[in-house]
Each structure stands twice: as C-alpha cells, then as structure tokens.
C-alpha cells in the first residue's frame, strides 16, 4: 500500500467519525438550552447570509476551476468549508439559547416549506462526508477521483446552501425577536 493510500485510509476513518459525530452532536445540542442565556436572536439572518455567500462562492469556485484558476478554486473551496463551519457554530448557538420557531403558514405553502426543510436537513447530513471526501481527494492530488466526486458533491452542497436561505426567508416572519 502506497503512502498516499495509507493517508487516504486515515482520512476516511476521520471522515467517517466526523460524519457521524457532527449530526449526533448537533441533534443533542439542538435540545440543550443554556439556562438564563440571552437569546441570540440576531443570528438567523447572519447564518442565512452565510449560506447565501457559500452558494455564490461555490458557483465562483466552479467557474474558477473551469477557467484554469486552480489556486483561486482551492481558496474559494476552503472559504466555503470555513463558512459552513461558521454556520454550524452560529446555528448551534442560536438553538441553545432560543426556542425553535414554528412555521405559521397554511395550505400549500406549508407543504412546500416542510418539503424544502426536510430535504435541506437530510442533505445537510449527507453533504458532510461528501465535502470531506471531495476535499481529501484534492488534498491527496487524486484529481480525477476528486472531479468525479465533485460532480456529485457540488449540486448537493449548492442545494443545501440555497435552501438554507429559502428556509430562513419562509420562516423569518414567524420569529420572535423579543
């Protein structure tokens, strides 16, 4: 087994652990409330904006690599990963200090909202190992494998980023900013 294969094996173990631990920890922390904490009600528009910026940068990263701008692509992708981590920290912080907001719409819009929300949540879990594996392939300079995986990862990550904004816009009229 080559040194690159050994590194990839180690990465895969770490990716598996992170891909399991992150959703479990988020689910647990989502239910934990910090006693007497002031609600961080200013965070939802910020983390929705982070999702929007991530979507824009993902598209820019694709244009960069298609135009041979490898370093720009790498920097944009690292930024997207960093923004996703920032989103996660803010999302957890908000939900540890604030009660969940219930969607108040009725009729067809309610079904649209829940469809978008459920697909967003499911794909946000699925995207974790995809992003990490795609990044690892590039890091290990397995560019052909990276390209193949990126063709799957990109549209899912873009959907998650865009639907994060859509979910926020649909539920924001029902937030209690008190």
Report which DSSP code applies to 102. P
Helix (H) or strand (E) holding 111: helix 108-139
* Residues 117/139, Cβ–Cβ less than 8 Å: no
pLDDT digits (tens, 9 = 90+) for 77-118: 999 999 999 999 999 999 999 988 899 999 999 999 999 999
pLDDT digits (tens, 9 = 90+) for 117-150: 999 999 999 999 999 999 999 999 999 999 999 9
Q: What angle do CA 13, 18, 19 make, to 5 degrees?
A: 95
Residue 68, phi-psi category: left (phi > 0), alpha (psi -120 to 50), beta (remainder): left
Domain boundaries along the sequence of the chain: 3-31+45-174
Please give the model's pTM, rounded to 2 decimal places.
0.93
């Amino acid at each position: 087994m080559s040194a690159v294969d050994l590194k990839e094996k180690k990465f895969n173990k770490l990716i598996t652990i992170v891909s399991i631990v992150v959703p479990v920890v988020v689910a647990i922390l989502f239910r934990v409330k910090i006693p007497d904490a002031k609600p961080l009600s200013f965070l939802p528009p910020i983390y929705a904006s982070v999702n929007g910026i991530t979507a824009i940068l993902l598209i820019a990263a694709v244009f960069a690599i298609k135009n041979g701008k490898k370093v720009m692509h790498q920097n944009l992708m690292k930024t997207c990963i960093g923004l996703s981590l920032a989103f996660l920290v803010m999302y957890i912080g908000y939900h540890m200090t604030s009660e969940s907001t219930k969607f108040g719409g009725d009729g067809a819009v309610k079904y649209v909202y829940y469809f978008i929300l459920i697909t967003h949540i499911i794909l946000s879990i699925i995207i974790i190992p995809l992003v990490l594996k795609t990044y690892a392939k590039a890091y290990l300079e397995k560019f052909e494998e990276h390209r193949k995986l990126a063709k799957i990862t990109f549209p899912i990550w873009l959907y998650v980023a865009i639907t994060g904004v859509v979910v926020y816009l649909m539920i924001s009229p029902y937030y209690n900013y008190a």
